[in-house]
Chain A
């Protein structure tokens, strides 16, 4: 067993930013554990551009964005171990990992930052009936095959779900000579960014069919040969009279991302059934003292810029925790109401001395001309006008922490939508 002040589990965008911030806050005893053979996480396979507009005011590809944060880690000489998979995190903050080089190792940490990212919801998670054939991929798996390994998963493609990776892959597969026949979305709106719909589908005349789903998958000789799609009613049940068959050899699924919280579970960290991530306070600390979470393992973000921002805060707070211990005394709970599906953090330290607190949230439905309001014990303290909010785009409201100090005993912060049209 070795002893470290901060162990960061995951060397993707969140882990890199958290490590850098912890270092810049004065902490020197940091190690990043990364299971892949390179830092950068999922950004390595995101070779399209559009990253970093907020952070760097320029458009970068995924690997370029990652490289900037990797450089910060290299510059500071922060230690990292590649090919090192963490297999357990205990509630008393012992991290167990294995690697080819080191075998099985245990590190006792003062603080742990979980930055393990998320995974894609598989076919089984949405119960699509039909053949269990080759040619069915989650969009991210196809992205890895195309962008990293250089292989085409298929020639004629239908995509179920309009999540960002699905949209990006529609364009990518088209560039590579495949025919993308349709993107089929169960909901009446997309869960992806609007800019991706324009740049990845509209520009290539790929039809996006809202309120439709795949009801059957057919196969010949073990490989997908067609899919049957149908419209769904307002209860999202397929209307079989609308069924139509589309010939294809590939079905890509972009039907949601799930924070990968197995390790948090082993450490008995309380998880939110809404975000599937940990319940954290405004310092990104979970209910297990000294275990922090940020990035897509905490809740699925729309832009990596916000991952970096959140992780920077988490890294800073982890360093402060190592130095000062737990300073939390009293919490104010947060909640989302009237169409605000969740708010992260789920609670705010009343004694917090950070000036600004970012509340991040997603809405359950698309609304136009809506007011995003923060209510403190029912009193409106912040109001933001939004021409449109959609489930695909994360919303952020920045609060002055002084406001939180006004909350009375037993009071709460509520983020809500006022007015607006669906």
Chain B
């Protein structure tokens, strides 16, 4: 019997799992995908928002500000990429100034520190590539950037170290209320659990409606398309550059990533298919052209890849957090932006509520710290020398664009909740994230996955399910 079953291994599910693993509870995380961070958590802007955007008093505003304050320390504790780089909200027109002022005041009401309004020239003095048309900007000193999938993986690994079980590639097919709690039917087994925490992202409404027919909330999948630029453009901006927000969201941004690329996007389009993460011709044009308004020198030829993610937008327009009308069934739904920033704070609150409900006691052997995979590319030469001395596989470069070694790839597979497919290795090590986009390292990474997991080449997938890379032997 599980104490807690968490549905969804995105940043919300994994962070809750980790915070719950502080207590002596039997916790399982299930996800339909082959890895953690496979939904919104792998395809978003990766911004640690300061907290001025959300209306004061909403869950979004409260958790954003709390989460933003937790992130710097959390990033050290769990060893994931985070940097406080600051952000501008750019205003291109004198008529936009009142809106900037509103954002500033809202931010102050929300408890955000380090907000100020700068004139266009002051902005360009800091970020010379910003458009001449910018007349003023809101500056948010505490805004940061984070690697969203690495943050999720860090949470998941630490949760696993603390005893949480992960059942991946295991879709929830049904949930039945039983006397002791819930009987949850998965793809390959049935689990009994006292409580359920629904962190199913764009499918959170469907999961909730397995136990209740109340129309508490509906989730709309809102697609955002992005372009990623080569690291050689990393100097285009150090600050995150927003434009004044619209009804559909915070608009298109230009920002550095924690790994030194430039990210451009997202668009915002509601889509009927909750698995539709296809990029579109129009979407990419729109993302790029809109971003070019902020930074006119953006060049298409430097795009190395594009992707799309789905925001789980709740029709109630705020995060839905807490125990539902069905006792012991918790919803953590509609966690769209600023969901990534809010996740650490949401996790603490939800874990506390569930632990109290279950009268749990704290473990005495909780491991709070996690050390990530060594990153050869970011080391000094003497650190590299020491690393290779510990294991010669760190001296064998597999991904030449990002300088990822075989040692790191082996680590990514052997760690708790380790990589099981090419994309899993990519998110954990950056092998294939560079400018050749896995052109050279695909066969090598496949071989390493085969060796480590005892699989055949024909079984290796890009990202689970039917995404096989090769179809058979040559004749």
Residues of A within 8 A of B (CB): 35, 83, 85, 87, 96, 98-104, 106, 119-120, 122-125, 127, 129-134, 137-138, 140-141, 144-146, 148-155, 176-177, 215-218, 220-223, 238, 249, 260, 262, 265
Contacts and interface: CB of A to CB of B under 8 A. Distances in A.
A153 B395 CA distance: 29
Interface string B422-450: 00000000000001111110110001000
A103 B471 contact: no
B124 interface: no
A222 B462 contact: yes
B277 A153 contact: no
B449 to A, nearest CB: 13
Interface in B385-399: 385, 388-389, 392-393, 395-397
19 contacts: A96-B381, A100-B393, A104-B384, A106-B381, A119-B436, A122-B435, A124-B228, A124-B437, A125-B301, A127-B284, A127-B303, A129-B281, A130-B279, A130-B280, A134-B467, A215-B281, A216-B281, A220-B466, A221-B465
A146 B474 contact: yes
A62 B290 CA distance: 47
Nearest to B302: A125
Contacts of B440: 119, 141
Given A85-B397, A120-B436, 11 more contacts: A124-B303, A124-B304, A125-B304, A127-B284, A144-B443, A145-B442, A151-B458, A153-B469, A177-B475, A222-B462, A238-B281
A390 B472 CA distance: 38
A252 to B, nearest CB: 12
B306 A149 contact: no
Secondary structure at the A interface, as helix, strand, loop or mixed, is mixed
Contact of A129 (B284, B443, B463): B284
A141 B474 contact: no
Contacts of A122: 304-305, 435-439
A152 B470 contact: yes
Given A35-B400, A151-B474, A222-B465, A131 B395 contact: no
Q: Which of A119, A130, A217 has the most chain B CB atoms closer than 10 A to its own CB? A: A119
Contacts of B306: 124, 127, 129
Given A100-B393, A150-B473, A152-B472, A140 B439 contact: yes
Nearest to A156: B471
Contact of A152 (B228, B443, B473): B473
B129 interface: no
Contacts of A100: 388, 392-393, 395-396
Q: Which of B227, B307, B400, B463 has the most chain A CB atoms closer than 10 A to its own CB? A: B400
Nearest to A131: B278
A222 B466 contact: yes
B468 interface: yes
Contacts of B228: 124
A264 B384 CA distance: 22
A178 to B, nearest CB: 9
B457 interface: yes
B403 interface: yes
B436 A134 contact: no
B76 interface: no
Given A104-B381, A129-B280, A176 B466 contact: no
A125 B465 CA distance: 27
A238 to B, nearest CB: 8
Q: Which of A120, A151, A265 has the most chain B CB atoms closer than 10 A to its own CB? A: A151
A132 B461 CA distance: 13
Nearest to A102: B395
B109 interface: no
A216 B282 CA distance: 11
Contacts of B393: 100
Contacts of B281: 129, 215-216, 238
A36 B327 CA distance: 60
Contacts of A98: 384, 388, 395-397, 405
Nearest to A127: B284
B334 interface: no
A1 B210 CA distance: 66
Contacts of A149: 443, 447, 457
B392 A101 contact: yes
A176 B470 CA distance: 13
Nearest to B403: A87
Contacts of A152: 470-474
B470 A222 contact: no
A16 B461 CA distance: 37
Given A99-B395, A127-B284, A150 B474 contact: yes
Please tell me the size bucket of the interface on B.
Answer: 35 or more
Q: Which of B303, B305, B395 has the most chain A CB atoms closer than 10 A to its own CB? A: B395
A133 B465 contact: no
B395 A104 contact: yes
Contacts of B10: none
A144 B461 CA distance: 17
A134 B281 CA distance: 20
A199 B458 CA distance: 31
Contacts of B301: 125
B292 to A, nearest CB: 14
Interface string B167-206: 0000000000000000000000000000000000000000
B396 A83 contact: yes
B461 A222 contact: yes
Contact of A154 (B284, B303, B389, B471): B471
Contact of A145 (B385, B443, B468): B443
Contacts of A150: 473-474
B266 interface: no
B300 A127 contact: yes
B344 interface: no
B459 to A, nearest CB: 12
Contacts of B381: 96, 104, 106
Contacts of A83: 396
Contacts of A101: 392, 395
A176 B395 contact: no
A134 B469 contact: yes
Nearest to B407: A100
B422 to A, nearest CB: 8
Nearest to B385: A104
Contact of A153 (B303, B304, B470): B470
Contact of B443 (A96, A130, A141, A217): A141
A132 B279 contact: yes
Nearest to B441: A141
A218 B276 CA distance: 11
Nearest to B381: A104
A141 B436 CA distance: 11
B86 interface: no
Nearest to A222: B467
B406 to A, nearest CB: 8
A132 B467 CA distance: 10
A249 B467 CA distance: 11
A357 B461 CA distance: 51
Nearest to B463: A222
A265 B231 CA distance: 12
Contact of A141 (B392, B439, B457, B464): B439
B289 to A, nearest CB: 13
Contacts of A102: 395
B149 to A, nearest CB: 15
B286 to A, nearest CB: 12
Nearest to A123: B437
Contacts of A216: 278, 281
A249 B474 contact: no
A150 B437 CA distance: 22
Q: Which of A101, A122, A220, A265 has the most chain B CB atoms closer than 10 A to its own CB? A: A122
Contacts of A218: 278
B224 interface: no
